[in-house]
């Protein structure tokens, strides 16, 4: 009897570790999946059991076959979704915004900036200001897009010379809610996205907001509307 119990116990141990191992390979089927491992898709970070919003989305619509034998299919469509609703797309969180990474390629982007696409409380808080191709002929703060927006919008600006640039968001009563950039930058065209959160990471209310660019002696302010 003792032997049988021991055998059964061993069987359970092997079966459960096989279960985890069998599915852990899926962290290699999304870009930078190793950073948050099973926690990307499962509420229990050890894997198995209930899924996160990202895991649920994959299980329903982005597997070669639903269930244990299926493989995750990372794609532009999956990258474009914001599964956990934190204002960043799955692709932005996993450092592959266009969803172009394929299995076998080196991990894209910066691993240190990867956040969990299945956890609404984990999102990029440092707004990345991305340089774009092209030459800036003058100082310019462009209209944000989309506008109105919910909850994210993109703001582009141009610097004709290297200078210290500051891009800030103010609410309608003039209180500053977010600093998107405050650093010395090379001449060029830049894009910055705002996720509708203040400096403390809280989602702000619907309403009119102002964004202001200060660069050298240049100042420009524009208006935008967050509509939920
Ligand atoms: Ca997230």
Instruction: Identify which has the larger pLDDT, 19 or 122.
Output: 122
Convert the pLDDT of each residue in 162-204 to its tens digit: 999 999 999 999 999 999 999 999 999 999 988 898 988 888 9
Mention every residue, 6+ apart, whose C-beta is less than 8 A from residue 134: 188, 189
Q: Is the pLDDT of residue 7 over 60?
A: no
> Is omega for the bond preceding 133 within 30 degrees of 0, making it cis?
no
Query: Contact at 8 Å (CB) between 194 and 117?
Result: no
Q: Is the pLDDT of residue 102 over 90?
A: yes
Task: Read off the pLDDT of each residue in 67-79 and give the average, rounded to a whole number.
Answer: 93
Task: Read off the pLDDT of each residue in 61-73 and give the average, rounded to a whole number.
Answer: 91
Determine the distance separating the centroid of ligand 1 and the alpha carbon of 86, expressed in angstroms: 6
Q: Is the pLDDT of residue 8 over 90?
A: no
Name the fold adopted by 129-226.
Answer: Immunoglobulin-like (2.60.40)
Determine the distance separating the centroid of ligand 1 and the alpha carbon of 40, expressed in angstroms: 9
User: What are the angstrom distances between the C-alpha of 4 and each of 7, 8, 13, 54, 135?
Assistant: 5, 6, 14, 41, 75
Determine the distance separating the centroid of ligand 1 and the alpha carbon of 53, expressed in angstroms: 10
Mean pLDDT of the chain: 88
Determine the distance separating the centroid of ligand 1 and the alpha carbon of 123, expressed in angstroms: 4
Residues whose beta carbons lie less than 5 angstroms from ion ligand 1: 84, 86, 119, 122-123
pLDDT-derived band at 5, boundaries 50, 70, 90: low
Convert the pLDDT of each residue in 37-48 to its tens digit: 999 999 999 888
Q: What percentage of the chain exceeds 70 in pLDDT?
A: 88
Determine the distance separating the centroid of ligand 1 and the alpha carbon of 87, expressed in angstroms: 8
Determine the distance separating the centroid of ligand 1 and the alpha carbon of 117, expressed in angstroms: 4
Determine the distance separating the centroid of ligand 1 and the alpha carbon of 152, expressed in angstroms: 14
Residue 127: per-residue pLDDT: 63
Lowest mean pLDDT among 8-12, 20-24, 38-42, 204-208: 8-12
Task: Read off the pLDDT of each residue in 88-99 and give the average, rounded to a whole number.
Answer: 92
Cα distance between residue 52 and residue 50, in whole Å: 7
Q: Is the pLDDT of residue 115 over 60?
A: yes
Indicate the domain borders of the chain: 2-113, 129-226
Residue 18: per-residue pLDDT: 46
Determine the distance separating the centroid of ligand 1 and the alpha carbon of 41, expressed in angstroms: 11
Residue 48: per-residue pLDDT: 87
CA angle 192, 198, 202 (to 5 degrees): 125
Please report which helix (H) or strand (E) contains residue 190, including its range: strand 188-194
pLDDT-derived band at 88, boundaries 50, 70, 90: confident
Task: Read off the pLDDT of each residue in 20-28 and give the average, rounded to a whole number.
Answer: 72
Query: Contact at 8 Å (CB) between 43 and 50?
Result: yes
Query: Contact at 8 Å (CB) between 68 and 22?
Result: yes
């Amino acid at each position: 009897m003792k032997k049988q119990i021991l055998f059964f116990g061993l069987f359970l141990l092997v079966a459960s570790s096989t279960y985890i191992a069998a599915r852990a390979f899926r962290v290699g089927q999304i870009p930078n999946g190793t950073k948050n491992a099973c926690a990307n898709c499962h509420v229990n970070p050890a894997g198995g059991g209930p899924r996160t919003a990202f895991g649920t989305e994959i299980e329903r619509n982005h597997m070669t076959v639903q269930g244990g034998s299926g493989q995750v299919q990372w794609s532009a469509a999956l990258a474009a979704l914001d599964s956990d609703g934190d204002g960043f797309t799955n692709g932005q969180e996993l450092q592959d915004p266009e969803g172009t990474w394929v299995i076998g390629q080196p991990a894209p982007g910066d691993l240190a900036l990867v956040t969990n696409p299945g956890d609404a409380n984990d999102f990029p808080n440092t707004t990345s200001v991305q340089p774009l191709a092209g030459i800036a002929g003058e100082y310019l703060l462009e209209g944000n897009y989309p506008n109105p927006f919910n909850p994210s919008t993109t703001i582009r600006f141009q610097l004709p010379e290297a200078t210290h640039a500051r891009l800030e968001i103010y609410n309608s009563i003039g209180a500053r809610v977010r600093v998107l950039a405050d650093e010395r930058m090379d001449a060029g065209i830049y894009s910055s996205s705002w996720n509708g959160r203040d400096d403390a990471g809280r989602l702000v209310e619907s309403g009119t907001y102002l964004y202001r660019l200060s660069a050298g002696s240049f100042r420009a302010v524009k208006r935008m509307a967050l509509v939920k």
